[in-house]
Amino acid sequence: MSFSIQKTEAEWQALLQGKGAEPGALQVTRHAATERPFTGKFNAHWADGSYHCVCCGAKLFDSATKFDAGCGWPSFSQAVPGAISEITDRSHGMVRVETVCAQCGAHLGHVFEDGPAPTGLRYCMNSASLDFEAGGS
């Protein structure tokens, strides 16, 4: 899969450090690591605004679609149209759907079909992959 924004590992690292991203952001976004549940800064964050890719700034989710799934990661029922690409993930002995930023390929988390109506989806995201912009969604 090819993405419109491409950088070297060192460039991503410098960009994330410059933004003051969480220490694990590089491993999560560029190497598909997962933060521990209930540790991310956006798990219990309920302000109005929008969630963006920490790597490239692309808008991914509106706060109105965020819900408490009780899983320990920020969860959303709907993504901004075209913002996310899906990849089949066969790691850890399971088959899941990985979500990545459609602009830069940053690993965001996974999407599951156990979310609320009307979409039935649960976009289970890593806080380390997200940035938040306050304001009306």
User: How many domains are there within the chain?
Assistant: 1
Residues carrying an active site annotation: 124
Domain CATH number, residue 81:
2.170.150.20
Is 137 a residue whose pLDDT tops 70? no
Q: Tokens standing for 97? A: 């759907």
In a domain, 86, yes or no: yes
Q: Token digits for 15?
A: 């960009």
Q: Is residue 112 part of a domain?
A: yes
CA distance 22 to 103: 21
Tell me the average pLDDT of the chain. 94
Task: Answer yes or no: is 108 within a domain.
Answer: yes
Could you tell me the pTM of the whole model?
0.93
Where does the pLDDT of residue 136 fall: very low under 50, low under 70, confident under 90, or very high at 90 and above? low
- pLDDT tens for 85-95 read 999 988 888 88
Task: Compute CA 35 distance to the chain's CA centroid, rounded to the nearest angstrom.
Answer: 11
* Host domain of residue 126: 9-134
Residue range 59-86, pLDDT digits in tens: 999 999 999 999 999 999 999 999 999 9
User: Which tens digits make up the pLDDT trace of 11-37?
Assistant: 999 999 999 999 899 999 999 999 999
In a domain, 2, yes or no: no
